[in-house]
Chain A
């Protein structure tokens, strides 16, 4: 009998920024995402549930990470912010068409496992 066994381990990292993602704080998020992507992580969940506000500087960071992850065969999924101000920028600028969004990080993880 020939038995071929293949084990695949999917490495997914969840980042949970807290507070505002603006020109002052976006570089820190960018550094962390860049480091993870450089380390070969292509499955990223960015939990925005505790983000109070996000401007275009923050969105730039998310979009750059998304492009890099997708180019490497991965993806970046977002968790909806609870704050209306942060939620609004995602909907008004139509970034909700760009990212897969879930209500919780667990949902995002589950959707990865089921391939949805």
Chain B
């Protein structure tokens, strides 16, 4: 403020002004000091913000290369410790049906047996809290000067806690909290990415295993076999999923009658496929080693062998087992709950060969008998699983046994393979190409 004016009248006025200004000076200095202080604060905040941005950039860069969940958790803990300038940092991850994942930096810094309590995924759970110097000492097993914990959700049933324990200097300030929140946000998306990658890997592994199982199951079902003279056989089996519970087999052995069979394990998928393989092996063994391989006796022995296993898993299997006897031009067969089996004699109409016993695995004994059937020139036998007759169209109407019989009758002069192809085509057309169940069809035709 200038004080060099010495004019009379003006002087008085000036003096008065000077007096007034002199009174304002301490106030203005105080304002300036306040402003300066605010500027310092803003500059410090700016520096902090810049530090945070740089820190988050570094974190983003570090996290980008991590796809593994454990590696991600380790990186989060390491970066949180470094960026928040604390002696120890941790991240605890709670997922359903899995033990708590807990990673800290440095390793073994704090006791980790209490962290499950922190991961409360309820909507009203505390999102963030500070640790008092002494109250939490027993929880973490180390002296706590200060601490900040933040809970964050990754999925509705997956939550985590980021913890920072013991600032290297001072206490947690507002920029530290903002930074910790940003780290938690970034950690949330990094963990979600790692979980998605883990899900995809698990899915890919499952698909690979299922493809392998599909290939093995397909290998179990024979493509060709030596057939008796004047017998044509065509067969195909398509599971509704990668693997299924349907099976078929043919056995041509020098001292045994030619045998063929079709089975259908209740249910679908892996469990059905496992029991399908067991049942097929069991029938093969009985057919090969039984001194007189009578069809009804074979199925009864198979039932005795497998009843316990099927009971344990609450499933059963329907089986139609037949043999061709060329000397008498006959089929002998036994049927445990399998349907439909359609016999079309050359001189008559198709008829259903109904079961006379419940499926294998339902009771501890079977009631089936061995039946005989003429099987001479142009006679046809068609054995399918229920995936054909129960195939439904969009109105819920099933293809049914009558349509199957009509198809077979229409194509009675066609080859065994053509009868198979026609039946599949008709069912597919009827059900608009939607396969709801495993589909197996075996056609045997006497030439």
Contacts and interface: CB of A to CB of B under 8 A. Distances in A.
For the complex, would chain B's binding face be called helix, strand, loop or mixed by DSSP majority? loop
A63 to B, nearest CB: 5
A60 B354 CA distance: 20
A92 B336 CA distance: 10
Interface string B306-341: 000001001110100000000000000000011110
A64 B310 CA distance: 10
Contact of B339 (A53, A57, A67, A92): A92
B314 A56 contact: no
A94 interface: yes
A36 to B, nearest CB: 16
B359 interface: yes
Interface in B130-160: none
A60 B316 contact: yes
Q: Which of A61, A64, A97 has the largest count of B CB atoms less than 10 A from its CB?
A: A97
Contacts of A109: none
B312 to A, nearest CB: 10
Contacts of B437: 55
Interface in A79-112: 85, 91-95, 97-98
Most buried by B among A57, A63, A85, A93: A93
B356 interface: yes
> Chain A: interface residue count, which band?
10 to 19
Nearest to B315: A60
B233 interface: no
A50 to B, nearest CB: 16
Interface in A59-74: 59-61, 63-64, 67
A63 B362 CA distance: 7
Given A55-B386, A56-B386, A94 B356 contact: yes
Contacts of A64: 314
A64 B264 CA distance: 18
Contact of B355 (A56, A61, A92): A92
Contact of A94 (B264, B311, B357): B357
Interface string B398-420: 10000000000000000000000
Interface string B16-39: 000000000000000000000000
A23 B241 CA distance: 14
Contacts of B367: 94, 97
A2 to B, nearest CB: 43
B290 to A, nearest CB: 24
Given A56-B267, A59-B266, A98 B386 contact: no
A61 to B, nearest CB: 8
B83 to A, nearest CB: 50
A28 B108 CA distance: 48
A93 B355 contact: yes
Contacts of B426: none
B314 A60 contact: yes
B276 to A, nearest CB: 13
Contacts of A67: 311
B342 to A, nearest CB: 12
Given A55-B390, A94-B367, A60 B266 contact: yes
Interface string B341-364: 000000000001011111100110
A53 B398 CA distance: 10
B357 A97 contact: yes
A98 B362 contact: yes
Contacts of A93: 318, 337-339, 355, 358-359
Contacts of A60: 266-267, 314-316
Name which of A60, A94, A95 has the most chain B CB atoms within 10 A of its CB.
A94
Contacts of B264: 56
Interface string A33-67: 00000000000000000000101110111011001
B386 A23 contact: no
A57 B337 contact: no
B311 A95 contact: no
Point out which of B268, B338, B339 has the most chain A C-beta atoms below 10 A from its C-beta. Answer: B339
Chain A CB within 10 Å, residue with most, of B266, B367, B398, B437: B266
B243 to A, nearest CB: 15
28 contacts: A55-B437, A56-B267, A56-B316, A56-B318, A56-B386, A57-B266, A59-B316, A60-B266, A60-B315, A60-B316, A63-B314, A63-B362, A85-B398, A91-B354, A92-B340, A92-B354, A92-B355, A93-B338, A93-B355, A93-B358, A94-B337, A94-B356, A94-B357, A94-B359, A95-B358, A95-B362, A97-B358, A98-B362
Interface of B: 264, 266-268, 311, 314-316, 318, 337-340, 352, 354-359, 362-363, 367, 386, 390, 398, 437
Enumerate the 5 nearest inter-chain pairs by beta-carbon distance, A residue then B residue, closest first.
A56-B266, A64-B314, A92-B339, A93-B337, A60-B266
Interface of A: 23, 53, 55-57, 59-61, 63-64, 67, 85, 91-95, 97-98
Given A60-B315, A97-B357, 17 more contacts: A23-B268, A55-B437, A56-B316, A57-B266, A60-B266, A61-B314, A63-B314, A63-B316, A85-B398, A92-B352, A92-B355, A93-B339, A94-B337, A94-B356, A94-B358, A95-B337, A97-B367
